[in-house]
Amino acid sequence: MDLIELERRITRIEDIEAIKQLKARYCEICDDGHDPDRVTRIFAEDGAWRSGPDKAEGHAAIRELFLGFQRRISYSQHMVMNPIIEVDGTEAHAVWYFFGCFTFRENNEARWLAARYHEDYVKLDGTWKIKRLRVRGPAMNARYDEGWAPTGS
């Protein structure tokens, strides 16, 4: 293997790891109160978010969407796994399995959700950003224990 091929392979591995870290950051932002300012920083300026009827394009719309999530969701725990990540230069695509538990402010209802994330990414000035995030599903949307509430940190 020559040095050019080795450099290409290392760059691909670094890009995949950076995308995994980006997805982990997204989950952390969601689970830390759906902070609309933080989440817009990990999306491209013309980025898009879509799940069923909820959709947003561009930073201003994504910010408004996450303000709505703050009003509706009192607790969430996002767990993503089994990523399939394809990198092509400064663009990438991934599919992630998602499983999470949520409580909602309106009725303190607790739900388990399962779905898949389909995401496109773009590398801007050396940093990966989410270009398009689409939630496919839910594959599962089930209530659980009526009196359940998160136990804190």
Asked if residues 144 and 111 have their Cβ atoms less than 8 Å apart, the reply is: yes
Give the range of the structural domain holding residue 117, as residue numbers without chain letter: 3-143
- Asked if the structure places residue 150 within a domain, the reply is no
In angstroms and rounded to an integer, the radius of gyration of the C-alpha atoms of the chain is: 17
- Asked if the structure places residue 77 within a domain, the reply is yes
CATH value at residue 89: 3.10.450.50
Asked if residues 34 and 73 have their Cβ atoms less than 8 Å apart, the reply is: yes
Asked if residues 57 and 43 have their Cβ atoms less than 8 Å apart, the reply is: no
Asked if residues 85 and 19 have their Cβ atoms less than 8 Å apart, the reply is: yes
- Quote the Cα angle for 46-133-44, to 5°: 25
- Asked if the structure places residue 153 within a domain, the reply is no
Q: How many structural domains is the chain composed of?
A: 1
pTM (two decimals): 0.91
DSSP 24-63: HHHHHHHHTT--HHHHHHTEEEEEEEEETTEEEESHHHHH
pLDDT, one tens digit for every residue, the chain (153 residues):
799 999 999 999 999 999 999 999 999 999 999 999 999 999 999 999 999 999 999 999 999 999 999 999 999 999 999 999 999 999 999 999 999 999 999 988 999 999 999 999 999 999 999 999 999 998 888 888 655 555 554
- Asked if the structure places residue 24 within a domain, the reply is yes
Can you tell me the distance from the alpha carbon of 37 to that of 29, in angstroms, rounded to the nearest whole number?
10
- Asked if the structure places residue 152 within a domain, the reply is no
